Structure formats: C-alpha cells, structure tokens
Amino acid sequence: MTIAAGTGEPQPVTPTQALMQETLRRLAANRVPGSNLYSGWLADLRHGITRTGESRAVVPAGPYLGGLSPRERSGALRAAAIRASNKDVRNAKGRALGVSFASLSRAVGGSSVERQVATLPLLDLESAAAALDGLVDRCSSAGVAVDFAALARTLVHWGTGATPRSQEIRNQIVLDFHYAAAGVTR
C-alpha cells in the first residue's frame, strides 16, 4: 500500500508498481559509494530484457509478479530490466513517453528518433522492449528524463496489437511524440 497524494488514504499498489519501486530502491542503495549490496539482484533483473533471460530475471522479480498474466509478466520484466539497465536516467513522473522521446529528438537532432518511435506500434513485445531500451539509453546520454511507471504500464499492456486497447497503448507513444514535437500540450 502507498498513500494517495493529498488524501492520506492507503492506495493499492499493482505488482508492476511494486517491482518498479523495488528496482528504484535498490538502484538508489547501490549509488552509495562503495555499495554493491544489490548488484547481483540488479544484474539478474537486467537479463529480463529478453525472453531467453526471463528465467534468470524471475529470481529477483518473481515475488512482484503475482496476479499478472504471462504476457503482463513479460512486459513487467522488460520494463524493470530497462530501468535496471538505465540507472542514470532521471525519473519524470507523469511525463508521457512520447514527450520524453520528442525531447530526445530535439536534443540529438535528425530524424532517427522519430523513425524509431514511428515503428513502435508495429513491433511485438520483444522488439518493442529492445527499441524502448535503446531510446531510454539515448535519453540518458542526452539528459532527458523518462517516466518509468509509464514505461511499465505501456509494456505490461502492450499485447499483440489485435485489440483496440493494445493498439491504443502502442499508438499513444507516437501521438504524444508528434503532439510534443508540434508544441501541443494534451
């Protein structure tokens, strides 16, 4: 349970939120000079970026995956692996992924970021996770913050692209990117 903002009332935490919070907590603990307390946990979690590494990532992440479908578990593992791999990226709570990627595009120039973002809705979960990992890594280099909770929600609900909900999740990044690039706030 967490406390809802401004209410003081307990609010349930989803398994994905719990995993992302624990990943962030352990990353922060490892930032202390000389600390490597959670290095093994984080290293195992980073293997969750691919299906072949999932079995190793389930060791640290397993306790946080209860109640999720197999597809949702895979999305949660990919998101946590991306967070664990990109420890220097600042968190931008409440900022849409497309907005972060539009900021990245402005920072690095050219159209490569726009092309990567445009292809995201066409990708399966594995390819999307790899592409998002690359974009988040580039955000680190450019000093652009990313909302990792939004990343987790996106990958957990990525789906197959066959349902309207899955299509909406996939296309939202592209829409937010283009609105932000055009200077339109939503």
Q: Is residue 186 part of a domain?
A: no
DSSP bridge partners of 107: none
Query: CB of 95 within 8 A of CB of 147?
Result: yes
Q: Is residue 94 part of a domain?
A: yes
Query: CB of 84 within 8 A of CB of 46?
Result: yes
Compute the distance between CA of residue 133 and CA of residue 115 in angstroms, rounded to an integer: 15
Q: Is residue 135 part of a domain?
A: yes
CATH number, domain of 174, equals 1.10.520.40
Q: What total number of domains does the chain contain?
A: 1
**Could you read off the pLDDT of 18-29 as tens digits, one per residue?**
999 999 999 999
Q: Is residue 10 part of a domain?
A: yes
**Could you read off the pLDDT of 98-152 as tens digits, one per residue?**
999 999 999 999 899 999 999 999 999 999 999 999 999 999 999 999 999 999 9
In this prediction, what percent of the chain has a pLDDT beyond 70?
94
What is the domain range of residue 173?
Answer: 2-181
**pTM, full prediction:** 0.90
